Amino acid sequence: MNRMLIIGYGNSLRADDGAGIAAVRRIAERYPGVHCKMVHQLGPELAEDIADYKTVVFLDASVEAKEVTVNRIPLPVSMGPMHTHIATAPGVLALAGRLYDASPLNAYIIHIPASSFEFGESCTPETIRHIEHSVESVGRLIDQYAGSPSMTKHHRQG
C-alpha cells in the first residue's frame, strides 16, 4: 500500500473548509501504510511528491457537492496555465508530468459537501458525516489498488 498518496487540503481554521484535512487525519489513523499529506492549498511543490506515486487521491471541501463524490481524473493531464494560488488537482498532476516525466496511473478527486466557512476549527455535524463517508470511499480505493500492478510499477510518460 505504500504506493498511494492521499492529499487533503483546505483551511482548517474555516470550519467545513478543513474537511479534506480532517478526512486525511482519519485516513492516516485507519490506514497507516498509506502516505498522507495535509496542505492548506494545492501548489506546484506537490508535483515532486506526486511523481513518486502510482495512485494519488485528493480530498477537498465543496459547496457544490450534495453528497461525497469520487471522480477519476483522466490521465495523463496536459499542461495548461497554472497559478500558484489557484492550482487544481489536474494542474499539479500535469506539472508532475512536465517536470519529472512521471505520472500516477490512477488519480481521483473526492469532494466532501460543506456548508459553513465561518471562522472555527470544527466542522459542522453534517460535514463530519460526509468526512466519514469520504474515508470509507478512500478505503475502497485502497482495497482496489492494494495488490494491483499500479501499486508496484512506476509509470513514466513517453
pLDDT for 24: 97
Q: Read off the pTM.
A: 0.86
pLDDT for 14: 87
Domain residues for the domain of 103 are 4-151
pLDDT for 152: 33
**82 φ/ψ angles, rounded to the nearest 5 degrees:** -140, 135
pLDDT for 81: 61
Q: Find out whether 51 and 96 touch, Cβ atoms under 8 Å.
A: yes
DSSP codes of every residue in 76-123: SPPP----TTS--HHHHHHHHHHHHSB--SEEEEEEEE----SSBSS-
Indicate the length of the chain as a whole number.
Answer: 158
Regions of the chain short of the pLDDT cut 70: 1-2, 79-86, 146-158
Q: Is the dihedral of CA 89, 59, 32, 143 positive or negative?
A: negative
pLDDT for 120: 84
Instruction: Report how many domains make up the chain.
Output: 1
Q: Please check whether residue 157 lies inside any domain of the structure.
A: no
Q: Please check whether residue 103 lies inside any domain of the structure.
A: yes
Q: Is the dihedral of CA 112, 126, 11, 30 positive or negative?
A: negative
CATH number of the domain that residue 83 is part of:
3.40.50.1450
Q: Please check whether residue 32 lies inside any domain of the structure.
A: yes
Q: Please check whether residue 158 lies inside any domain of the structure.
A: no
pLDDT for 146: 65
pLDDT for 57: 97
Which grid cell is 51?
511523481
Q: Per DSSP, what are the bridge partners of residue 6? A: 36, 57
Q: Please check whether residue 127 lies inside any domain of the structure.
A: yes
Q: Please check whether residue 156 lies inside any domain of the structure.
A: no
- Eight-class DSSP state of 123: -
Which grid cell is 146?
492494494
Q: Please check whether residue 143 lies inside any domain of the structure.
A: yes
Q: Is the dihedral of CA 20, 144, 92, 49 positive or negative?
A: positive
